Homo-oligomer: A and B are copies of this chain.
Amino acid sequence: MDEELTLDPIDWKALRLSFQIAADLCISNMEAVREGPVWEPTPDRVKAHFKEALPQEGASLNTLLRDFEENILPYGTGNGHPRFWGWVHGSGSAAGALAEMLAGFMNSNVGGRDHIANYVERQVIDWCKDIFNFPASASGILTSGTSMGTLIALNVARNEKAGADVQALGVSAGRRMVGYASAEAHGCNSKAFDLLGLGRQSLRMIAVDDRFRLKPETLRENISADKAAGFQPFVVIASVGTVNTGAIDDLVAIADICRAEGLWLHIDGAFGGLARLTGRFRAELEPMSLADSIAFDFHKWFHVPYDAGCVIIKDEVAHRGAFSARREYLQSTESGLAGGAPWFCDYGPELSRGFRALKVWFTLKSYGIKRLAALIEQNCTQAKKLEALVQAAPDLELCAPVHLNIVCFRMVFDKDGKATDALNKQIVALLQTEGIAAPSTTTINGETVIRVCITNHRTRSDDLTLLVSETRRLGVLINSQDVNLGA
Contact = CB atoms under 8 A, between A and B. Distances in A.
23 contacts: A1-B460, A5-B375, A19-B23, A19-B27, A54-B130, A55-B364, A55-B369, A76-B107, A76-B108, A87-B330, A100-B101, A101-B101, A107-B299, A146-B352, A167-B199, A170-B201, A188-B351, A244-B328, A306-B353, A309-B352, A328-B442, A329-B442, A337-B440
A330 B243 CA distance: 10
Contacts of A105: 26, 29-30, 92, 97, 305
B77 A115 contact: yes
A341 B30 CA distance: 28
Report the interface size class on chain A: 35 or more
A58 B15 contact: no
A29 B9 CA distance: 14
Contacts of A163: none
A391 interface: no
A148 B352 CA distance: 9
B166 A170 contact: no
A169 B167 CA distance: 19
Contact of A187 (B113, B327, B333): B327
A95 B15 CA distance: 9
Contacts of A72: 102, 106, 116, 120, 358
Contacts of A39: 115, 337
Contacts of A336: 428-429, 432-433, 486-487
Contacts of A30: 8, 105
Contact of A243 (B77, B122, B188, B329): B329
A221 interface: no
A31 interface: yes
A293 interface: no
A77 B343 CA distance: 14
A78 B115 contact: yes
A102 B69 CA distance: 10
Contacts of A172: 171-172, 176, 197, 199
Interface string A79-103: 1100000110111111111111111
A117 interface: yes
Interface string A28-59: 01110000000101100011001111111111
Of all A-B residue pairs in the complex, the 8 with the closest CB atoms, nearest first, are A197-B197, A145-B352, A170-B199, A100-B104, A97-B104, A92-B107, A101-B101, A75-B116
Interface string A277-318: 000000000000000000001010001011101000000000
A171 B197 contact: yes
Interface in A340-394: 349-355, 358-359, 362, 364-371, 374-375, 378
B54 A333 contact: no
Contact of A91 (B7, B47, B130, B303): B7
A451 interface: yes
A168 interface: yes
Q: Which of A42, A77, A147, A438 has the most CB of B within 10 A?
A: A77
Contact of A169 (B54, B75, B199, B461): B199
Nearest to A152: B195
Given A58-B367, A107-B305, A352-B306, A6 B457 contact: yes
A7 B455 CA distance: 12
